[in-house]
Every structure is written in C-alpha cells, then in structure tokens.
Chain A
C-alpha cells in the first residue's frame, strides 16, 4: 500500500509529541528528536505522490524550529496524515 511507510513515520512523530504533552514521564524527548522524526518522513519519496503532504511536513518542521506549541506541530502533522489518507482513498493506512 503506497503511503503506509509515510503514515507510520508521521504517526511516530505525532506519538513523540503526544508523549511530551501527556507527560508519560518515562523518557526525555527533545525538539531535536521530533524534528528528526519529521525529517525521516520527508526523506520518503512517497510523500511526493500525494498533494500537500510534503508542504504540511515542511510546515511542521518549521514549527518545531520556531518553538511553536506542541499542539500546533501535532495539528500540522495530523493534516499531513489526513492528506496522505485522502490521497489513498479506497485503501486503509491503519
């Protein structure tokens, strides 16, 4: 299924942000790690196959660099995930 790897990597980045927000308290997550997770998504060529995914990921990366609130970064990543899912209508990325 095209997009599955990208969806997995976006979910990983979101999970890191959620771990910070929910204070699971079992690890220290830095903005650098979140940025790395987003860069991992951008490295996949499949993000170019669906409109807007690369743009949202780029915005999320900028948001991390600019120190924007975690929820803003998460929202932008959810937008990327949504765009990816819309680009794969008919298949499930779950």
Chain B
C-alpha cells in the first residue's frame, strides 16, 4: 500500500572474494596474466555480503538497523542509497533518499565554507534555490558564521564536522539514512545531532538508523531489524530486538578472540587479540558472582609504538544503558608513564570490584584510541557475561532490583525517638 516508504524484497549483494578488502583494482597486466593461467588459479569465489533481505518500512517510521561489524549493514545502506546495485531481489523506495553515510562527502579543503555548502548540497541532491533558502539556517546550526568565507582546510575538525552535518541534516529528504555519524564529534554536538534526527522523525519523515550505540537506537527508533552474516534475523519492536541482539548469540560469551581478518585495516598498528572475563580463580567464565572480585582483560599487540594510547572497556546492560567506561590509562600518573607504548604484545587488565553489578546480563565493549588523535579500534559488543547475584545485598527478598548496579552500601539505622 501507499503508506510503505521502503519495501525491500529478497535483496542480495554478491562480491567477488578479494574485492572486499584487498586491493580493489587490477592492472591490465594482471588481467592479461590471468588470461594465460589455468582456470583454477583464478580467485573466482564469491561471497554474499547480503542475501534474502526482506522488510517494509512505513512512512514516518524510524527503523533501527543493528548487527555486528561486517554483518552487512553498510552494504544494505549502500544498496538503499543506490551507491551500489544489488545482485538479486529488489527494493522500492518512495521519495528522495538522503544519506548520511559519511558526512562531508565531497567537501573540498580549498573551497570556503560557503562554497562547500553549495557544492555539498548539490552532491546530496539539493536544488540551488533550496540551498539558498536554507543557507542561513545551515550556517547557524553549524555555528561557523565568522568563518564562512574561510577555506575549510583551516577549520578545526569540530567545525568541519558541524558544517558537514548541518548541510546533510537540512537536506529534508523523505527518507533519511543515517550510519554512525554520531560516533564522531563531541558530546554537545552528538546531542544536537540526535535532536535534529528527532525533529526529522517528528516531521513525519522516514529514518533508517544504523548504529552500535544501543541507547541511541532505543531512544530514537520504534522498530529494529537485526542483521547477521548477511541475513535478516528479526524485525521486531526495538526493545525486543535490542535485547535479542545483545543477549543471544550475536555477542560471544566469556571470551572473544579476534582473527586477523576480522579486524579492519584502519586499526593498525593496534591489533586486538582477545577480551576475556575471568572469575576470582582466574578462569574464563560466562557467569561471574557479584560478591567476588572479577577481572576483565584485553590482549592486543602493537606493530608500532603508539603515543597517548588508551585501551579500555565499556560496560552496558542488555537494555542498552551504559554502566561505565574505563581506560587503562585513566590514572594520570600511569598515563604519564605510558606516554609512548612501544611495539609488542600486551594485556590490559582491570578488576571489577566485588559488590558492583546487579544480576543480569552485561555487554563488554572495547575501545583503543588516542584522545583527539585517532580511534584505532572499537567494538561495542565484544562479549557478554552474566552476573549471578547470590549473596548480594537484599537477596533475601526474591525480587528484581532496578538498576544495573547493586552496590553494598553502608546503611545505619538510627533511632531518633524510642
């Protein structure tokens, strides 16, 4: 019916093996050489990045898309925004699609802010008159009034990003595709972006929101699809889908080991090897007891010295609330000592104090970055573990306690009138 904005039917995309990660283009010599080589030597294998994907999105709906790295989310978005064409199946899209696959696409460093607004707007499919009409609004949103005649190569990265997002956000397409734009920028800017997306949704536009940020997905979307290994696993109300995604199978338990080919090349020189949860006896476990001290350790190697590196974890409940974020160089003295971390193999280990977590399932995310320089690696759902609250405070009442933590607090009961 006509209230469907996007109808996807059996969509699939096949890539030639080797054209995904390794060098993508060939030289004429390669082609000539392979002509004279026996058939079986040619890498003629194919891989389905996405297959049999079918779902509908209603007009004005905000649909979340979640899945692990490499599950096929980006391929889906690229297909829907027509960057690449499908191998099979079809999709019907009603209205103009605006994509925020990567903000700032087509920005040219030599051109001024003003010139880039026009250029970028045109690339994103805006008419000249439309850009002129929204120009002031864009500049205001980006807060770059003073620098509008300055080449963007002189902008700070924050200004650059704000301007880029502002243009994209004012595109006003009927369908907006958003992929991880919120992973960048400062907290204030992220808040602003989320606000803008909320506005877009309230205006009755359709939004496809892809993110690793479960709390943002929970906050912004009503319904979510889960994608894994190129297939659509479920389409359900967001709370249900997120819980399913976080707690069942898509994240590994106890220990997560990375094979070299699972790590994006952009992570170098950082190479994650494993992240583990260990109980008080030092064994890798799926379930820890909240009354014990437990350990989380990240094993990784550095192929070159890294300056200002911090390796750390996020802890999140399966409802998508963050419990905390912690890095191995949070201690200022330790950070000074480890200014440059030489190449080599490392384990960063931290202790989860006893009497910290409530019962339930938790998700560990891993982040390795140099503040304001580069984020080498991030996996927001590296593994999950379960907390058994036996012996925790208040367990003599068999009830579920609200909140992700269950600290043992010092209570005094003082009788002030006997």
Report if A and B associate in a common complex: no
